[in-house]
Amino acid sequence: MRRSLGVTGRIDRGNLSRLDLLGVILVAAASVWALLAAAGRPASPEGYLLGLLTVSAAYVAGRVAGARSAFSVCASLAGAVAVLLLLSPDALSGASLAAPLGYGNANGALVAQAVGAACLASLAATGDRRRGEMHLLAGLLVLGAFATRSLAAVFGALVILLVGLTALSARRRGSFVVAGALCVVVVAMGTVYLGGDRGSEASGVRGTAESGLTERRVDTWHDALELSGDNPWRGTGPGTFLAQSPTALADGDTKAAHSQWLRQAAEQGLPGLACLVALVAWAYVRLWRSRQDPAVVAVGAASFTAFALQASIDYVAEFPLVLVAAGVVLGVATAAPDAQLRTWQR
Q: How much is the pLDDT for 214?
A: 66
Which of 331, 332, 292 lies closest to 11, judged by CA? 292
Lowest mean pLDDT among 100-114, 205-219, 241-255: 205-219
Quickly list DSSP for 118-174: HHHHHHH-SSHHHHHHHHHHHHHHHHHHHHHT-HHHHHHHHHHHHHHHHGGG---HH
Give the C-alpha distances (Å, rounded to integers) separating 143 from 98, 138, 237, 258, 332: 16, 9, 40, 25, 24
Round to whole Å and give the CA distance between 271 and 283: 19
pLDDT of 113 above 90:
yes
pLDDT of 343 above 70:
no
Q: What is the largest CA-CA distance in the chain?
A: 63
Which of 55, 37, 9 lies closest to 304, judged by CA? 55
Q: How far apart are the first and last CA of the chain?
A: 5
3-state secondary structure of 334: coil
pLDDT of 163 above 60:
yes
Round to whole Å and give the CA distance between 283 and 268: 21
CA dihedral 175, 78, 291, 293 (to 10 degrees): -60
Round to whole Å and give the CA distance between 49 and 38: 12
Cβ contact 279:326 at 8 Å: no
Q: How much is the pLDDT for 4?
A: 39
Cβ contact 148:109 at 8 Å: no
For residue 123, give the amino acid letter: L
Lowest mean pLDDT among 31-40, 83-92, 150-159: 83-92
Lowest mean pLDDT among 46-60, 89-103, 279-293: 89-103
pLDDT tens-digit series, residues 237-271: 999 999 999 988 888 777 788 999 999 999 999 99
- H-run or E-run covering 2: strand 2-4
Round to whole Å and give the CA distance between 263 and 251: 17
Quickly list DSSP for 182-215: HHHHHHHHHHHHHHHTTTSPPPHHHHHHHHHH-H
pLDDT of 181 above 80:
yes
Quickly list DSSP for 249-263: HH-TT--S-S-HHHH
Sorting pLDDT into bands at 50, 70 and 90, what band is 108? Answer: very high
Cβ contact 238:43 at 8 Å: yes
3-state secondary structure of 286: helix
3-state secondary structure of 90: coil
Per domain, the residue ranges of the chain are 12-337
Round to whole Å and give the CA distance between 239 and 44: 5
Beta strands at 343-345 and 2-4: parallel, antiparallel or unpaired: antiparallel
For residue 208, give the amino acid letter: T
Give the C-alpha distances (Å, rounded to integers) separating 192 from 92, 188, 206: 32, 7, 12
pLDDT tens-digit series, residues 263-279: 999 999 999 999 999 99
Quickly list DSSP for 50-68: HHHHHHHHHHHHHHHHHHH
